[in-house]
Chains A and B, each alone.
Chain A
Amino acid sequence: MKLHEYQSKQIFAKYGVPIPKGRVAATASEARQIAEELGGRVVIKSQVLVGGRGKAGGIKVAKDPAEAEKFATQILAMEIKGLPVRKVLVDEASAIEQEIYLGITNDRAAKKPVMMASAAGGVDIEEVAATTPEKIIKVHIDPLLGLRDYQARDIAASIDLPRENWREFGQIANGLWGAYKATDSTLAEINPLVINKNKKLVALDGKMLIDDNALMRHHDLAEMRDTDEEAPSETEARKYGLSFIKLDGNIGCMVNGAGLAMTSMDVIKLFGGEPANFLDIGGGAGADKVAAAMRIILSDPNVKAVLYNIFGGITRCDEVAKGILAAMEEVKPEVPMVVRLVGTNAEEGRALLADADMITADTLADAAQKAVAAAQSPGGKGA
């Protein structure tokens, strides 16, 4: 789960990372009021969960409260990469002497968190990594011991940070590690961390990704999720514990198991079709979950055919069949459906669906070919 900049910076501040004074606003008049409170120049920053806000014109410096209101009005009317801007962060403007990058992420190959720092901050760090990787310092953190003070000093020295800032940098690095650990982040990033005119370090921007699997023990963070910024079908799917991702094709897919769900998409493509979604109903899904999944798939107007590929293990094929029947009763689908049931209680499942208006298949390849043909036939069912 992605957090907004203002949410990330609030968390960083709790762990002793200095951030600029500022607050988030949902209207231009609120933005003006915050600018009045702060006095002086302010930065108006769109809060959307995509990168490249600055380039898109979603970040502007205002010289006074009137200009803050004007810019906030403009930015709140924007869409950035398809996402409407609903909030702006109004921060006091900083005079910047140097920009640094500092972040922590998981190194899955090393099985350890890794702290990364670069003197080339303020720009797209992935581009720095691709073009001049030697400019990024990487230090692995032992997950059982945590970040050691000497490691932070080594990083400060490696990026040629002025010695007078080392102590401060140590506190910030330690604070970032604390925030990362306490929130079960998969990424905690300050870009840029700046040295301002007073020679002090300040985190001007912040980004955090929280491990979805850990949200069960972070209810406060789970509530921070901004559902305005995802497809409504994905929000709905999460409610039912379904793993769903909307894609651009026209063949809806319902599968049990993530690997098999990806494979079903691949095989559809192999036979010339395009999947409309990734959908894993998970292990042991009952009829209710299956019905919810079907509603979500069919809510996409692009869908011209649906493929059900169920390999029963923990999941029982008869339960899935019951769910399909219940959902068909309710949704009255008008697109052709191809179903393949194998494994636990497959016979019972097939018997339940014998009278339903569905195309059956024995193998995955067969099912995919039938779904592709069905999606291409004009008029769908009844034509």
Chain B
Amino acid sequence: MSILVNKNTRLLVQGITGNEGLFHTTHMVEYRTNVVAGVTPGKGGEWVLDGKVPVFDSVKIAVEATEANASVIFVPARFAADAMFEAADAGIPLIVCITEGVPVQDMMRVRNYLDQKKVRLVGPNCPGLLTPGEAKVGIIPGNIAIPGNVGVVSRSGTLTYEVLYAMKNLGMGATTCVGIGGDPVNGTNFIDVLDMFEHDAQTEKVIMIGEIGGTDEEKAAEFIASKMTKPVASFIAGQTAPPGKRMGHAGAIIEGGAGTAADKIAALEAAGVRVAKHPEEIPTLLK
């Protein structure tokens, strides 16, 4: 078992003929992810990866032809909102947006629209999903994680890789790793994923990687205290970040005194979560 993606996922890639799209599609296919279609407007009828994956002009046509049930988006930031609207309108139930730098007003419109359609969005500005041994949807390097019983959810990219790698070095594997992204307005939040892990039979323990900005970690702490039976370990990045400075991620900013690492760590510890001092320590807290 796993959450969101597995070997039955029929994946469509929006922006498949771009540099990023093609590079990562190659890796997703090498990982044996079932990539059934790609979309690039104006390139319908072409094939990529030596004839393995057909390209369509629109998501709607691609879904009709291939019954794709998930989409991963690699289009540039200025077109990302449109790509998400298009996927939702074509009836795709799971959209994973890798694109970084999507304007926040775009994301507010997208999120409010997708909520009405009951479509699940992961991201944007995220590394995507990895169910080790089954499916890689996004850019998480496949070779740094092994299958196991730990669910991983994170707001970060490379920091997540660091943790997966430390887990692997200890012989610890993951059910699914979900990168929810570092933007202030995104699709899926910690609570959504924690809830899925709580109900996933194979997931026995959970790692949650947060960072400064917003109050999602505090809300997750409340959820863990009231709804979760499985043990959770955590790490919060940005303990030394100064207030008012945006730390790379659009969402990683301490505003008006809210969103500090200290507040988040205190909330998590009060909820019984073991919080690591540095990322390599996290897996040892679940041993």
Which chain A residues have a beta carbon within 8 Å of chain B's beta carbons?
106, 108-109, 111-113, 126, 129, 142-144, 181, 184, 186, 211-214, 216-217, 243, 245, 247, 255-263, 265-270, 275, 278, 280, 283, 311-314, 342-344, 363-365, 368
Selected A-B contacts with CB under 8 Å, 25 pairs: A106-B105, A106-B185, A109-B214, A111-B185, A129-B256, A184-B103, A211-B104, A216-B78, A245-B247, A258-B182, A259-B156, A259-B160, A262-B212, A263-B279, A266-B239, A269-B240, A270-B278, A278-B241, A283-B139, A311-B158, A311-B165, A342-B165, A343-B144, A365-B280, A368-B278
Which chain B residues have a beta carbon within 8 Å of chain A's beta carbons?
23, 77-78, 100-109, 111-113, 127, 139-141, 144, 154-162, 165, 182, 184-185, 209, 211-212, 214-215, 235, 237-242, 245-252, 256, 261, 277-280
Bound Cα distance from A342 to B165, whole angstroms = 9
* Closest 9 pairs (CB-CB, A-B): A259-B156, A258-B248, A257-B158, A259-B159, A214-B103, A260-B158, A143-B108, A108-B184, A243-B248
Contact check, B252 vs A245: say whether CB atoms are below 8 A apart.
no
Of A106, A109, A266, A269, the residue contacting B104 (CB under 8 A) is A106
Bound Cα distance from A216 to B261, whole angstroms = 31
Secondary structure dominating the interface of B: loop
Contact check, A275 vs B240: say whether CB atoms are below 8 A apart.
yes
Most B-side CB within 10 Å, residue of A211, A243, A245, A256: A211
Bound Cα distance from A109 to B209, whole angstroms = 19
For residue B139, which residues in chain A have a CB less than 8 angstroms away from its CB? 283, 313-314
Contact check, B248 vs A261: say whether CB atoms are below 8 A apart.
yes
For residue A126, which residues in chain B have a CB less than 8 angstroms away from its CB? 256
Contact check, A364 vs B102: say whether CB atoms are below 8 A apart.
no
Bound Cα distance from A216 to B78, whole angstroms = 8
CB distance from B196 to the nearest CB of A (A): 20
Contact check, A257 vs B156: say whether CB atoms are below 8 A apart.
yes
CB distance from B68 to the nearest CB of A (A): 24
Contact check, B245 vs A245: say whether CB atoms are below 8 A apart.
yes
Contact check, A111 vs B111: say whether CB atoms are below 8 A apart.
yes
Quick one: given A260-B158, A364-B162, A365-B278, are A109 and B215 in contact (CB under 8 Å)?
yes
Contact check, B237 vs A266: say whether CB atoms are below 8 A apart.
yes
For residue B250, which residues in chain A have a CB less than 8 angstroms away from its CB? 211-213
Smallest Cβ-Cβ distance to B23: which chain A residue: A314
Of A143, A181, A342, the residue contacting B112 (CB under 8 A) is A143
Bound Cα distance from A262 to B240, whole angstroms = 8
For residue B277, which residues in chain A have a CB less than 8 angstroms away from its CB? 270
